[in-house]
A and B are shown apart, each in its own frame.
Chain A
Amino acid sequence: MTEDKVVEVKRLVKWFPIRKGFLYTFLSGRELFVHAVDDISFEVRTKEIFGLAGESGSGKTTTGRLLLRLTEPTGGNIYFHNQDITKTSDSDMRGLRRKMQMIFQDPYESLNPRMLIQDIVAEPLRVQKIGNEEEVQEKVAQGLEDVELIPPEEFLHRYPHELSGGQRQRVAVARAFVLNPEFIVADEPVSMLDVSIRAEILNLMTDLVEKFGASFLYITHDLALARHICNRLAVMYLGKIMEKAVTEKIVYEPLHPYTSALISAVPVPDPTTKRAETVIKGEIPSPVNPPSGCRFNTRCPIAEEVCRTKEPPLIDYGDEHYAACHLIRKPQWEKHMLTKH
């Protein structure tokens, strides 16, 4: 089974220090941290689309950046093809980045406004010193064609401001795929785009992932989209993974109360179906001082005493359906307990 993991993270932690000033730290004797990612483990398998879903502030973007070492982890390990890259030097990382690429959320921010489209797409090739100028040009044209910016000649000599949001995101996709990477992180790649264009970009990305045989980490807050794109999903809340399973399991048989709440909060585009009117209260608490015990206990509709004191571990409830909750009593769980003791 170890063979089919492209990227694996074990007990990954990222705390960002908050600067409160010397006097505060000196007097209070402690430093404050934003617990952005707090001890998460998962793996992305070969040729799969793995989704990381959650509300804003759940740590999903930080996780994506950590995987590519764009942010340095505070603890834990990241493996790429079973090779620990947590401590890899910057120069060695550069070589690895040929195989790991990222698509950012905002195509208005992620493309250098002073570069021509051809240079934007060619930059990864030049940084990695792949091919001579002729080959680079050829690959860039091919890349633009792959993202359906046709004919490429019409776009090569333009600047990002001359393109629409959807076209820009296509350029960003072309840039990510031009190195033929094995692993791509896409951080909310369509959330800034108009609805009619969203579907096209998503279809384009999933097609390219298939065509190049790449593995894909899709970070999103939109569960309805994740449902139709991802093979497996992990639901994050305040830096923790609450539930992790095959997408169908998450959507149809959620185990964790947070996942159920999240799923039932997604509006359904069908006026004849009425969804449950129960909506959980409150908003996501501050990650500076996360609740003790289970992090969801402050909003959980079924929280008990144990939830406030003890942190629930992420346990496999059968068929690789993981959940972190004290109050799950599924038959599989009892079976699991029986076999263990």
Chain B
Amino acid sequence: MALLDVQNLKTYYTTLRGFVKAVDEVDFRIEKGEALGLAGESGCGKTTVALSILRILPSGGRIVEGKILFKDDDLVQLGETQIRKNIRWKGISIVFQGAMNALNPVYKVGDQIIEAILTHESDVSKREATERAQKLFEMVGIEPSRADNYPHEFSGGMRQRALIAMSLACNPELLIADEPGTALDVIVQAQVLKLLRELKTKLNLTMILITHDLSIIAETCTKTAIMYAGKIVEYGDITAIFKEPLHPYAQGLLGAFPSIRAARMRMESIPGYPPDLLDPPTGCRFHPRCSYAMDVCKKVEPKLVDISKTEHRVACHLIEKA
């Protein structure tokens, strides 16, 4: 049985101008020990998926429909207290985007981790929590003595490491990492990703990696879901998708990521701009930017269909026809 099974998830934000359909009919599942890469541009709904899973949507955001099955529970139906007691941090934890802003600047980094442990595990003493925080620091490669530092005394890479340490404080089964490498320098980014990969193996973690950078997914994940305008357009094993992306958007996105190893070439680009989710295009949401768009694409929304036995799913009329 899958560790996490998201079914037909719809999350909308209420604004003065109407509903923003940030996540619309999203389906995916993760088996234990897998790493899923959630890819897409800003505004495609990938972070909203993460916030929905943890039920920490900002005000105005609401799960309208769908199920999020985590082990035996449907997270959409669980009460706030149960979620806080049993799910957040212990079951599922998140490494937030922007290491610069996710730590509280007026508390020592170590204390913030200890606080997380004490809040969620009432049977742990302060001393035990301190020890665990020290161990976590060591595990992510920070001198345990630096626990008494304030966030501003840490470099960007160290802050990101501290956040990873914090997310692991209560031994979660599922770790969501939201843009873990963004805003870091290449070398530091490589260090952080290496750390994540090592931790994943060591702790047998299940991971959702949210990023706009497909090359990071190629190196870290086993499966990927590519999102566009609130919907998953292609889902499957990374080897299959990177070798032969089927959805025109996935093809375009991959073309926009030239490899440093490849011969010099002209980059492929996707014309136009992502749509306004207050009023998304009819039919396939990608049709205004798609060079293969047919009449049917403007009218009928394509379904995410399995095209092989290996769970390679694509939402595109071109594929359905073939």
Residues of A within 8 A of B (CB): 55-56, 164, 166-167, 194-200, 202-203, 221-225, 227-228, 247-248, 251, 261-273, 275, 277, 279-281, 283-284
Segment 148-207 of B: residues with Cβ below 8 Å from A: 155-158, 185-191, 193-194
Q: Are B259 and A271 in contact (CB under 8 A)?
A: no
**B261 / chain A contacts, CB cutoff of 8 Å:** 251, 268, 273
Which of B236-262 touch A at CB < 8 Å?
238-239, 242-243, 252-262
B187 and A195 contacting across the interface, CB-CB below 8 Å:
no
Given contacts A224-B258, A271-B239, contact A196 B187 (CB under 8 A): no
A271: B residues at CB distance < 8 A:
218-219, 238-239, 242
A268, B194: Cβ atoms under 8 Å? Answer: no
Q: Which residue of A lies closest to B43 (CB)?
A: A194
Task: Report yes or no: A269 in contact with B185, Cβ–Cβ below 8 A.
Answer: no
Which of A197, A221, A225, A262 is the one whose CB lies under 8 Å from B273? A197
- Pairwise interchain contact A196-B214, C-beta atoms closer than 8 A: no
B50 within 8 A of A: no
In the complex, which of the residues B242, B259, B262, B269 contacts A196, with contact meaning CB atoms closer than 8 Å? B269
Count of residues in B whose CB is under 8 Å from the partner chain: 47
Docked-complex contact B157 and A283, CB < 8 angstroms: yes
Nearest-Cβ distance from residue A341 to partner chain B, whole angstroms: 38
Whether A224 pairs with B185 at a CB distance below 8 angstroms is no
CB neighbours of A265 from chain B (8 A): 186-187, 189-190
Report B236 CB to chain A, min CB distance, Å. Answer: 12
Give the CA-CA distance A248 to B264 in the complex, in Å.
9
Give 18 A-B pairs besides A55-B187, A196-B41, A269-B215 with Cβ atoms closer than 8 angstroms.
A194-B212, A198-B256, A199-B267, A221-B185, A223-B260, A224-B260, A228-B266, A261-B187, A265-B190, A267-B193, A267-B216, A271-B218, A279-B187, A283-B155, A283-B157, A283-B158, A283-B185, A284-B185
User: Which residues of chain B come closer than 8 Å to A248, judged between CB atoms?
Assistant: 264
Would A269 and B239 count as touching, CB distance under 8 A? Answer: no
Q: How far is the CA of A167 from the CA of B274 in the complex (A)?
A: 12
Asked whether, in the complex, the Cβ of A195 is within 8 Å of the Cβ of B194, the reply is no
Instruction: Give the complex CA separation of A264 and B214 in angstroms.
Output: 17
Whether B215 pairs with A56 at a CB distance below 8 angstroms is: no
- 5 residue pairs of the A-B complex, CB under 8 angstroms, read A194-B42, A203-B269, A267-B189, A267-B219, A283-B156
Question: Is B265 close to A, CB under 8 A?
Answer: yes
Complex Cα spacing A195 to B250, Å: 12
> B residues touching A (Cβ–Cβ < 8 Å)?
41-42, 155-158, 185-191, 193-194, 212-216, 218-219, 238-239, 242-243, 252-262, 264-271, 273-274
Alpha-carbon separation in the docked complex, A265 to B215 (Å): 11
Chain B residue contacts of A277, Cβ below 8 A: 194
B187 touches A280 (CB 8 A): yes
Distance between Cα atoms of A280 and B187 in the complex (Å): 7
Inter-chain contacts of B257 with A (CB < 8 A): 195, 224, 269
- By Cβ-Cβ distance, the 6 closest A-B pairs, closest first, are A199-B269, A267-B215, A200-B269, A265-B190, A269-B215, A199-B267
- In the complex, what's the smallest C-beta–C-beta distance from B89 to chain A, in angstroms? 28
Residues of A within 8 A of B258 (CB): 224-225, 227-228
Write out the residue numbers on chain A whose beta carbons fall within 8 Å of the beta carbon of B274: 194, 196
Which A residues lie within 8 Å of B267 (CB)? 199, 202-203, 225, 228
Q: State the CA gap A141–B277 with chains docked (Å).
A: 31
Q: Which of A227, A251, A280 has the most CB of B within 10 A?
A: A227
Residues of B within 8 A of A268 (CB): 215, 218-219, 259-261
- Taken together as a complex, chains A and B put the C-alpha atoms of A265 and B265 apart, in Å, by 21
Q: What CA separation (Å) do A263 and B273 show in the bound complex? A: 31
Q: Tell me which residues across on chain A come within 8 A of B158, comparing CB atoms.
A: 283
Least CB distance, B243 to chain A, in whole angstroms: 8
CA A56 to CA B189, docked complex, whole Å: 12
Residue among B258, B260, B270 having the largest count of chain A Cβ atoms under 10 Å: B260
Q: Are A196 and B218 in contact (CB under 8 A)?
A: no
Is the beta-carbon distance between A195 and B271 smaller than 8 angstroms? no
* Distance in angstroms between the alpha carbons of A262 and B185 in the assembled complex: 10
